[in-house]
Amino acid sequence: MVDKNPAVLVLEDGTVFKGYACGKIGTTSGEIAFNTGMTGYQEVFTDPSYYGQILIMTTSHIGNYGVHQEEVESEGIKIAGLVTKKFSDIYSRTSGMSSLGDYMDEQGTVGISDIDTRALVRHIRSKGAMNAIISSEILDVDQLKNKLKEVPSMDGLELSSFVATKEQYEVGDANNATYKVALIDFGVKKNIIRCLVERGCFVRVYPMNASVDEIKAFAPDGIMLSNGPGDPSAMKPQIELVNQLLTLNLPVFGICLGHQIFALSQGLQTAKMHNGHRGLNHPIKNLLTGKGEITSQNHGFVVTHESLEKNSNIELTHIHLNDNTIAGIRLKNRPVFTVQYHPEASAGPHDSRYLFDDFITNMKNLQSN
């Protein structure tokens, strides 16, 4: 049996779990959250929307198929830390490039295993989202509790600037593309860009502090508002940017944080959820077609029904069937729509990929006019 280093997980409310270290030996902190996906852990860990969060994986075994160089959604691991029941130090996938443990160690990601994740998730579902700290170098609980007091609340925290691009870049074939898309990067997943390029788009990715004038100079056929981490209400300059972009009268498609920022730009409000939606199996109903979708989700904030009901210019298009929260909206009589979930999936089902086709159709209609 391999000797394992002990590790400790301490929650903000004082609850303590003891287990063993996985990944890098060290200390990490952030808001603790849980993901109910049964697969796709590498895509989940590299999703920029998870920046600043310690993530519990509810499936029993993590690491059993290693990591693959093509299954990343950013340039590296973005979660603040990992909590799992069983962590596999070996992997059986022939195309894997390394073990998850080595990958986490290389990326500086601290984790804890051999935790009763069922009990932990039930605790969070009852008590709500809270900060936590993991350490495999400090085992004194009182010392960890003192460190935890210094961790800022996710409520009111701007995090996109830590993961979004600082420089403009381009993806796709400029000479043969049918459409040009300006993508505002709040923490974009690679598969969002891939889904656009696959549909004949040349994508120019802009930093979150880009100006309307430089985006207008690109003469895009449409605008994409990406996903990302943190509290959207803390992003006042980006809310104003989206408000200005809407004056260009172009098709707009927003995902997750992009959806929330769009909503705030139109006078709607967002609120922090009790424990958020994170997983690959969330049921959504499209109110325009009556069809259901199984979706990939990752968010801890949501647009409020109360503010939507006061706005006559915005229509509710999708709802989450578990709790009736807002999952999609659109501007009336305008080719502008946004969703709270991840239609690009990766990991997850492809039920919602049609939304990219809808965005393409809106750009096609604009060109034909």
Phi first, then psi, for residue 275 (nearest 5°) are -145, 5
The strand ranges marked E within the chain are: 6-11, 16-23, 27-35, 53-57, 61-62, 81-83, 86-87, 110-113, 130-135, 169-171, 179-184, 201-206, 222-225, 252-255, 270-286, 292-303, 314-320, 326-331, 336-339
What is the Cα–Cα distance from 136 to 3, expressed in whole angstroms? 14
Distances (CA, A) of 44 to 104, 240, 278, 286, 342: 13, 30, 10, 25, 12
Rg, Å, the chain Cα set: 21
Q: In this structure, how many other beta carbons lie within 10 angstroms of the beta carbon of residue 354?
A: 15
Answer yes or no: 342 catalytic.
Answer: yes
Q: Which among 256, 259, 277, 320 is annotated as catalytic?
A: 256
Written as one string, the DSSP assignment of 163-228 is HS-SS-EEES-TTT-SEEEEEE-SS--HHHHHHHHTTTEEEEEE-TT--HHHHHHT--SEEEE---
Residue with tokens 């965005």: 359
Fill in the DSSP letter of residue 152.
P
Answer yes or no: 68 catalytic.
Answer: no
Give the three-state DSSP class for 130. Answer: strand
Answer yes or no: 22 catalytic.
Answer: no
**Two structure tokens written together for 164:** 């979004």
Q: Which amino acid is at 223?
A: I
What is the Cα–Cα distance from 231 to 357, expressed in whole angstroms? 29
Distances (CA, A) of 249 to 201, 302, 334, 362, 368: 19, 26, 8, 12, 15
Partner residues linked to 316 by β-bridges: 329
What is the Cα–Cα distance from 180 to 197, expressed in whole angstroms? 10
What is the Cα–Cα distance from 331 to 278, expressed in whole angstroms? 26
Q: Which among 259, 299, 318, 342 is annotated as catalytic?
A: 342
> What residues act catalytically?
256, 342, 344
